[in-house]
């Protein structure tokens, strides 16, 4: 594997040369010459396949199919112009070879965009010709014996040496190498431009001429005169003279969301329409210029920092949108610090692009989600190149120390574990890849073998027919996850709390199947590697925002209850008992043993909450409950358990929890009951 730069530099020539970049480490060793040849080979085979299939779908000549492909491309980034240049330079020989019934593998080997090095196996995507490979290749070479293409390809020149491509290559290279916005006048790491690491990746700047104005900062003098934090709230209410920022945001605990991730977090995506001849139209490539200038990533649609509506009909919102919906003071406070090919090893090279001032900015929720590249690489023997648990520990601790020196006090950091990637082969190997659907000739097993042979696979360990290798890769992933779990359990930092979350993809598959989906639909169809961001990471994000983040408030409420609730009266003693049981401890020695037995299991806990541990008769379970009981219970107008159990359609747990947080000390019974319910083992049963 190698940098996406190698892919995008030839994108203007091989217009769809993006498959092999699908999460290849951005900073891996580039010394091996097979890397450049491998990526060029994949790009050639992709484009020649599309040309051939367009001719088949439209029953046209190869010349007509090439012109059709160019007509679909937009003018931006000179894509259409470049396509016609390719036709003029290479088209005649491609026409001759395809007209002689040579497949894409033979065409690209003949034109030397694919090469079989001495001692290396023959790499091919399609089934081998009926005649011997040597005979077929010699026959094809005779057809294009005097081709200028061969003189160009043998020269070893980089495609970007062509004058018309030099400017395009430079722009794309700059976007990939710089993790800060390309257009940032005041150098505050925020931009008014969407792509090239602009506001698709982090909140949009509202004043690009003032470096003190940016999303996520604490308001300057309550933003009386200007919107210093770009959340759209500023000025003074003329009715009472109170600044709007103070009125709406004071005490609301605004916080931003920051993702440190790889290509999955950046939402790497290649549209199937780009390589599926039967689906191509004038509308297929409208978003291609945007995708290229965003490094073939779609952070604006990602499961963590996405702010645009899904284009595939998925209703779930990103974590940022959930935080924004909960508190509009969080507007624009998101940062997607993700890179294609990122891992614990190379994060230090671009973590400096993170923007957070521990003195001036609001706290943040940081998600560390390097979920693949510490075990994934494209080498012929991938195991020695995997990150060891000891090295991961060192890398992550270095990252956490950096975060501790930049994050404001009160922040939270969540370490994401690695998935078990065996589901890739298990669910995809015998399915047809988009390139093989027309003629039923290319499965994902063929694609994986082709990429592994060229040593450009995004993850040889999991994208392999070798079951032993897949198992070894999963075992290393589990070891690394356990290392992250150990760090979260043992390390403490002054400015943030540290948590760990499993990437339980098998649970996500089960949840998706309950919704009527199939497991293979959770994988990006073109690269056959990435989890579909809006179908998998978001499902996991739903659990995370409902459980992990709410656990922060659960902890705060528990501490508040401990400080404000005395357990010396029988009226409240049952509450303390419930709270202790849910927290994993025994009731106090003075508490009735029958209470402990009664609420030790989930059904008994429910009864405890419904009947005050038996001190009252079972109350009505009408959807909106009945009146409260004696003492403090009289303050409760309805039974919270009834509200949770029979809540009306459209009423979410988060809205009920927000109600709990708004209660004051007079409603202590309801507050504690809410704490016990939402912090108990029954919570996951309702997160549907």
Q: Strand, coil or helix: what is 357?
A: coil
Residues near 439 by Cβ (< 8 Å), separated by ≥ 6? 53, 56
Q: Give the pair of three-digit tokens for residue 328.
A: 């509009």
- H or E stretch including 235? none
User: Cα(255)–Cα(412) distance, rounded to whole angstroms?
Assistant: 10
Q: Under a CB-based contact definition with an 8 Å cutoff, are residues 469 and 488 in contact?
A: no
- What does each C-alpha distance from 552 to 177, 420, 561, 564 come to in angstroms? 37, 28, 14, 19
Q: CB neighbours (10 Å) of residue 190?
A: 28
Count of C-beta atoms within a 10 Å radius of residue 384? 8
With both helix axes pointing from N to C terminus, report the angle between 79-99 and 133-143 in degrees, rounded to the nearest 10.
120
Distances (CA, A) of 256 to 80, 267, 574: 40, 19, 38
Q: In angstroms, rounded to a whole number, what is the distance separating the alpha carbons of residues 195 and 201?
A: 8
- Sign for the pseudo-dihedral over CA of 588, 591, 592, 596: negative
Q: How many helices (H) and strands (E) does the chain have?
A: 25, 5
Q: Catalytic: which of 191, 263, 343, 344? A: 263
224, 234 in Cβ contact below 8 A? yes
263 is catalytic: yes
Contacts made by residues 396-399, CB under 8 angstroms, sequence distance 24+? 396/344, 396/368, 396/483, 396/484, 396/487, 397/487, 397/491, 398/348, 399/260, 399/344, 399/347, 399/348, 399/351, 399/368
531 — phi, psi (to 5°)?
-70, 140
What burial class does residue 584 get, using C-beta atoms within 10 Å of its C-beta: 0-12 exposed, 13-18 middle, 19+ buried?
exposed
Q: Where are the alpha helices (DSSP H) in 538-569?
A: 538-543, 549-564
Q: d(Cα 226, Cα 207) in Å, to the nearest integer?
A: 10
- The CA angle 175-178-180, to the nearest 5 degrees, is 105
Find how far residue 121's CA is from the centre of its chain: 35
Residue showing tokens 């692009």: 353
Query: Which runs of E-coded beta strand occur in 345-501?
Result: 364-369, 411-416, 496-501
Give the residue from 419, 542, 554, 547 showing the smallest Cα distance to 480.
419
Question: What's CA 671's distance to the chain center, in Å?
Answer: 35
Q: What does the DSSP assignment read for 87-111?
A: HHHHHHHHHHHHHTT--HHHHHHHT
Cα angle: 473, vertex 474, 475; to 5 degrees: 90
Residues 435, 104 contacting (CB under 8 angstroms)? no
Three-state SS for 675?
Answer: helix
Could you give the residue numbers annotated as active site?
A: 263
């Amino acid at each position: 594997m190698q940098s996406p730069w190698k892919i995008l530099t030839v994108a203007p020539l091989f217009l769809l040369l993006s498959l092999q970049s699908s999460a290849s480490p951005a900073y891996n060793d580039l010394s091996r010459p097979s890397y450049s040849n491998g990526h060029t080979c994949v790009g050639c085979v992709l484009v020649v396949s599309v040309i051939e299939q367009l001719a088949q779908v439209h029953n046209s000549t190869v010349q007509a199919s090439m012109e059709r492909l160019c007509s679909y491309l937009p003018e931006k980034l000179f894509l259409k112009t470049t396509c016609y240049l390719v036709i003029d330079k290479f088209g005649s020989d491609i026409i001759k070879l395809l007209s002689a019934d040579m497949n894409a593998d033979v065409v690209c080997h003949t034109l030397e965009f694919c090469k079989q090095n001495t001692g290396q196996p023959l790499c091919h995507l399609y089934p081998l010709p009926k005649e011997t490979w040597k005979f077929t290749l010699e026959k094809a070479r005779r057809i294009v014996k005097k081709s200028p293409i061969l003189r160009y390809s043998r020269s070893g020149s980089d495609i970007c040496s062509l004058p018309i491509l030099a400017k395009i290559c430079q722009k794309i290279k700059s976007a990939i190498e710089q993790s800060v916005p390309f257009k940032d006048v005041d150098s505050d790491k925020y931009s008014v431009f969407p792509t090239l690491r602009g506001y698709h990746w982090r909140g949009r700047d509202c004043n690009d001429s003032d470096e003190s104005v940016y999303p996520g900062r604490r308001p300057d003098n309550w933003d009386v005169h200007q919107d210093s934090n770009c959340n759209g709230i500023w000025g003074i209410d003329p009715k009472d003279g109170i600044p709007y920022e103070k009125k709406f945001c004071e005490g609301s605990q605004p916080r931003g969301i920051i993702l440190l991730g790889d290509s999955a977090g950046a939402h790497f995506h290649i549209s199937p329409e780009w390589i599926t001849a039967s689906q191509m139209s004038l509308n297929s490539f409208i978003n291609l210029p945007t995708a290229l200038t965003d490094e073939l990533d779609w952070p604006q649609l990602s499961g963590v920092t996405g702010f645009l509506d899904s284009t595939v009909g998925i209703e779930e919102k990103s974590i940022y949108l959930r935080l924004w919906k909960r508190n509009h003071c969080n507007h624009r406070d998101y940062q997607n610090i993700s890179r294609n090919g990122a891992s614990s090893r190379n994060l230090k090279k671009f973590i400096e692009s993170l923007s957070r001032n521990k003195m001036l900015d609001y706290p943040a929720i940081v998600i560390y989600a390097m979920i693949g590249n510490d075990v994934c690489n494209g080498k012929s023997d991938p195991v020695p190149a995997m990150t060891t648990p000891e090295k991961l520990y060192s890398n992550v601790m270095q990252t956490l120390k950096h975060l501790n020196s930049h994050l404001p006090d009160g922040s939270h950091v969540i370490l994401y574990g690695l998935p078990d990637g065996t589901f890739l082969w298990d669910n995809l190997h015998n399915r047809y890849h988009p390139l093989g659907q027309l003629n039923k000739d290319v499965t994902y097993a063929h694609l994986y073998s082709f990429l592994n042979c060229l040593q450009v696979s995004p993850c040889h360990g999991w994208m392999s027919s070798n079951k032993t290798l897949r198992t070894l890769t999963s075992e290393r992933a589990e070891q690394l996850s356990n290392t992250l779990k150990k760090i979260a359990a043992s390390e403490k930092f002054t400015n943030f709390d540290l948590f760990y979350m499993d990437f339980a993809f098998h649970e996500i598959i089960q949840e998706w199947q309950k919704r009527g989906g199939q497991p293979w639909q959770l994988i990006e169809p073109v690269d056959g590697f990435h989890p579909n961001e809006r179908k998998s990471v978001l499902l996991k994000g739903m659990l995370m925002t409902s459980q992990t983040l709410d656990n922060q408030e659960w902890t705060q409420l528990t501490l508040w209850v401990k400080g404000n609730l005395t357990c010396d009266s029988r009226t409240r003693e049952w509450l303390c008992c419930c709270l202790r049981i849910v927290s994993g401890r025994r009731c106090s020695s003075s508490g009735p043993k029958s209470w402990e037995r009664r609420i030790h299991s989930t059904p008994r806990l429910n009864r405890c909450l419904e009947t005050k541990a038996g001190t009252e008769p079972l109350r009505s379970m009408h959807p909106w409950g009945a009146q409260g009981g004696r003492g403090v219970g009289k303050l409760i107008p309805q039974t919270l358990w009834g509200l949770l159990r029979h809540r009306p359609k459209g009423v979410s747990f988060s809205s009920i929890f927000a109600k709990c947080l708004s209660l004051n000390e007079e409603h202590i019974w309801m507050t504690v009951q809410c704490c016990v319910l939402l912090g108990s083992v029954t919570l996951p049963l309702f997160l549907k």
